[in-house]
Chains A and B, each alone.
Chain A
């Protein structure tokens, strides 16, 4: 069941010059939140920000009763969230959307590009709780983009690529040696990041007959299936990314890959 609640800001800490973790404390016991789900956060008192902003849920702490978000400053909405402190509260609609499917015990690869790592931490944790030890490949432009490594290492083996080679292998995510087909042993890929990256990963998965789930971030007004703005073309017609996604199996999408 979807909830609309005021959360208190529990912590807001910078990871680098433009990325931060916003941790919010729920007013009552959190419902169970599944990896891949998101929340619509209300930006208060900002004349240029009219609609809520959707963010993947990065982590959940049921003991502290907090949920956290991995946010990069892109525009006025995210800039305003970066300024929040412990005295502030913020309204959220959550948990929204479907979730990644958790498989039986198989080898899985997670691929996160840029802020696309956001939903993959909670996924890593859930996989680990299901006795699966995932491998995650994190890609960015340079070493400053590669964040939350220690958090991911709690649940995953971490591989890294940077476009300039300042950390991990040099090149695009899709050029990482893990994708050398003769050695590739994963049975499923989960990915989130720039669309071109997800399409390249999807193409690799399709060609090699590997299951692949992607998390999309189409622009939306409501987040709960009323406005019909965030649709993606699927084999069964247009579907709302907010209610029937954000996670889709690439088999169901009409991507030209």
Chain B
């Protein structure tokens, strides 16, 4: 039997399949469909220091092989999470990772400090790449000095595994990756959504209330693969790949490009059981190719 176990520094995953923030709620939305303890990890919906209502409707547009969203980090705030959601999800036998957000460095620090106190949360994903908020979010992740500053600040107050989620909406992804590595990140996840827009030709109006939004789904996979490969070749810390993964073959491609683990996002909306099918598919691939451990494939792209 092939070994699917993966380590992201101190973080141990039973398999490389995690769910992407904003596509899996807090996990409980999926418990009717399958045993979420089968997952390598769950990255919960992005959390901020104060509650956020998010952006006005409409927040979604279907596009060719993908979708745009402009949710805008709707959530009830970190204190609500700790009091009401954490007790419900902390005992699932998987890694619950909290995606944290802020408008200022101070807000990121405040959320990270509070999450650091939670025993059953082994890691955070620092979101410096949300394209749908007016302040903070992507603004931190599209500039080396601000990406470094926020990572350094959170590193000082957060002792467990620190993953930094990068935006693809940059000129040179490797520069940002190197900056957050230097600032103390344990791992890098990429890509967040690509900035896009949709227009209704009949009404001459934008489809989304925010005009622009984040593109996800298989339409972005080639961009994500390219960026994972570039980042893998420019940093030493483990890379977590995401962007348009729909099946096990997509996962193998990301791992060959250099990802140590992956996240499934938009595909969860279409098939809420997709992650279990993907885990089975990875195992089949390894058995078929007589590979003992998934780790043998990390960065094994032959060029």
* Contact assessment for A226 and B25 in the assembled complex, using a CB-CB cutoff below 8 Å: yes
Kindly list chain B residues whose C-beta atoms are within 8 Å of the C-beta of A175. Answer: none
In the bound complex, what is the Cα–Cα distance between A223 and B74 (angstroms)? 17
Interchain CA distance A218-B56 in the complex, whole Å: 12
B256 to chain A, nearest CB (A): 25
- The interface bits of chain B over 238-272 (1 if a CB of A lies within 8 angstroms of the residue's CB, else 0) are 00000000000000000000000000001011111
Q: Using a CB-CB cutoff of 8 Å, which residues 207-227 of chain A contact chain B?
A: 218-227
Size of A's binding interface in residues, CB under 8 A: 30
Task: Map CB proximity to B onto A1-39 as digits: 1 under 8 Å, 0 otherwise.
Answer: 111100000000000000000000000000000000000
Chain B residues with CB under 8 A of A203? none
What count of chain B residues pass the 8 Å CB interface test?
34
Asked if residues B69 and A231 are in contact (CB atoms below 8 Å), the reply is: no
- Given contact pairs A42-B270, A238-B74, A50 touches B62 in the complex (Cβ within 8 A): yes
A159 near B: Cβ within 8 Å?
no
Nearest neighbor of A232 in chain B, beta-carbon distance:
B57
**A51 cross-chain contacts in B, Cβ below 8 A:** 62, 67, 269-270
State whether A218 touches B57 (Cβ < 8 A): yes
Nearest CB of chain A from residue B289's CB, rounded to whole Å: 28
Question: Total A-B residue pairs with C-beta atoms closer than 8 Å?
Answer: 91
Is B268 touching A229 in the complex (CB atoms < 8 A)?
A: no
Contact of A48 with B by CB under 8 A = yes
Contact residues in B for A227 (Cβ distance below 8 Å):
22-23, 60, 69, 71, 269
Contact with A along B53-71 (1 / 0, CB 8 A): 1101111111111110101
The answer to whether the Cβ of B92 comes within 8 Å of any Cβ in the partner chain is: no
List of A residues within 8 angstroms of B66 by Cβ: 50
21 contacts between A and B (CB under 8 A): A1-B32, A2-B33, A4-B272, A4-B273, A42-B271, A49-B62, A50-B67, A51-B270, A219-B58, A224-B32, A226-B29, A226-B269, A227-B22, A227-B269, A228-B22, A228-B54, A228-B59, A229-B69, A229-B71, A230-B59, A233-B57
